[in-house]
Structure 1
Amino acid sequence: MCITVKKNELVHLHTLLAQIAEEYITSGVATPTDFDSYAELGISPMALRESRDRHEEAVRLLARILADCSKRATETVPVR
């Protein structure tokens, strides 16, 4: 099933994911280099004139990176 999201909703999601990325870096779950491929896209949530497709590309990539960092962080936590 494919869900179509409006551009303003996608930009909002992009903003939220970028905030989570900053929190991951601050808390040590991720490093800035984990987000190099996202930075190379050259699109931030504040780039409101960018196309919906570019924001979607950024959101998908950012979500994938955050998921990978989360997985890595949970794999390194000792089991009690």
Structure 2
Amino acid sequence: MKKQELIHLHGLLAQVQNHYEEKTGNEVEHDEYERVNVRPTSIHMSKDDHKDAVFALAGGITSEMGDDKSEQVPAAAD
């Protein structure tokens, strides 16, 4: 995957996290993501840095969703 694609994926995952937190009121675990200290807007960071951030963010999101007792996240109104 190219760096630009990783940055795009990173941004999408950040939006998924924000949407999930807004809809459920549950906060996604940020410790690992904060440790990596790379944001989607950190375009000067290396491809590997963004890769680490993507894995940390995805791990936090999936872990929180796995712990969530509700059936599903409410869909966004169009």
> Same-fold call, TM > 0.5?
yes
Amino acid at match of 1:57: D
The residue aligned with 2:49 is 54
The answer to whether the 8 A contact 1:14-1:45 is kept is yes
Residue 58 (structure 2) pairs with residue 63 (structure 1): yes
Give ranges in structure 1 of 5+ residues lacking alignment: none
Counterpart for residue 3 of structure 2: 7
Q: Secondary structure at the match of 1:26?
A: helix
Once residues 35 and 10 of structure 1 are traced to their aligned partners in structure 2, the CA distance between those partners, rounded to angstroms, is: 19
Provide the identity percentage: 31
How far apart, CA to CA, are the structure 2 residues paired with 1:13 and 1:30? 22
Partner of 1:77: 70
Distance in structure 2 (CA, Å) of the matches to 1:49 and 1:55: 10
Structure 2 unaligned segments of length 5 or more: list them.
Answer: 72-78
- Structure of larger gyration radius: 1
What is the root-mean-square deviation in Å for CA atoms of aligned residues?
1.6
1:25 and 2:21 are equivalent in the alignment: yes
Retained in 2: the 8 A contact 1:29–1:69?
A: no
